[in-house]
Amino acid sequence: MKLLMTIALLAATLPATAENWVRYAQSADLSRYYDKERVLLMSGTAFIWDLHDLRAETAGIDGKPHRSVTYATEVNCRKELMRVLSYQQMAGGMGAGPMVAEQSLVGEWKSPAQQSAEARLMAIACEQ
C-alpha cells in the first residue's frame, strides 16, 4: 500500500496542461474533466485527477473566489467505491491561475449512483 501511495503522489506532482484534460461530463453549472496523463491503475486501485471547471466564480472554503477545483481521487475498482484524497481550488478556469485554497484529506469511501458523473469517472479510471 505504501508503494501505491508513493506512486500516486509522484503522479500527482506531474504538471497538468490544458491538452491533458478530457471532458467526461457537463451540467448547467460546470464541466468535468479528467487528466488523461495522470491516471494510474494498479492491482484494482486507480488514482485519477478530476477537474471541475465552474461556469461562474464561486466563494471557496475560506471565502476566496475560485473558478475551478482539482480533485485527487482514489478508486477501488473491485468494490466500485471511490474517495477524494485532496483538492485544490484555483482562481482561474481549467485549473489555471493561483491556488486559492487546498485541503489534504482522505474522504469516506462512497459508491457512486448509477449513470452519475462519478460513475463515469470510476469507469474511466478502472478501464486504464
Q: The domain containing residue 77 runs over which residues?
A: 2-127
Q: Report the domain count for the chain.
A: 1
Asked whether the beta carbons of 52 and 72 are under 8 A apart, the reply is: no
pTM of the predicted model, to two decimals?
A: 0.84
For the segment 86-100, the average pLDDT, to the nearest whole number, is: 96
Amino acid at 118: E
Q: In what order do the strands lie in the sheet with 65-76?
A: 21-26, 30-42, 45-59, 65-76, 81-90, 99-104
User: Residue 113: which of 92, 90, 82, 85 has the closest Cα?
Assistant: 82
Q: What CATH number has the domain bearing residue 113?
A: 2.40.128.710
CA dist., res. 106 & res. 44, Å (int): 18
Of residues 12 and 41, more confidence is placed in 41
Residue 86 predicted with pLDDT over 70: yes
Q: How confident is the model at residue 128 (pLDDT cuts 50, 70, 90)?
A: confident
